[in-house]
Amino acid sequence: MDNMQTAYKYVPDYLVTPGEVLEDYLGYARITQAALADRTGLSKKIINEIIKEKSAITAEMASKFELYLGRPAHFWSNLERQYQEDKVRLAGKK
């Protein structure tokens, strides 16, 4: 059974960055990057760097996003963790 599960496991060959998800969520909630920065106490630069994939979402940021975006902190933390794991996995396939 383990071989069958491995054989049919869906493994995407692309990455979805936490910043893409954050940007989509901001658009859906009609919140600007500047407004999120103001509400969370994070700089506008760091919010933009997350969206541009230049900075990771830390546990502290995830907690702040939970307060102001309504998604649990573990959602943001897991998104970042999965992205980092997938990035390593895909880099190994090159």
Does the pTM of the predicted model rise above 0.85? no
Domain ranges of the chain: 9-92
3-state SS assignment for residue 56: coil
Q: What is the pLDDT of residues 37-62, one digit of tens each?
A: 999 999 999 999 999 999 999 999 99
Q: What is the pLDDT of residues 65-84, one digit of tens each?
A: 999 998 999 999 999 999 99
- Please state, in angstroms and rounded to a whole number, the distance separating the CA atoms of residues 51 and 4: 37
Q: What is the CATH code for 9-92?
A: 1.10.260.40
In terms of C-beta density within 10 A (0-12 exposed, 13-18 middle, 19 or more buried), how is residue 25 classed?
middle
DSSP structure string for 2-71: HHHHHHT----SS---HHHHHHHHHHHHT--HHHHHHHHT--HHHHHHHHTTSSPPPHHHHHHHHHHH-S
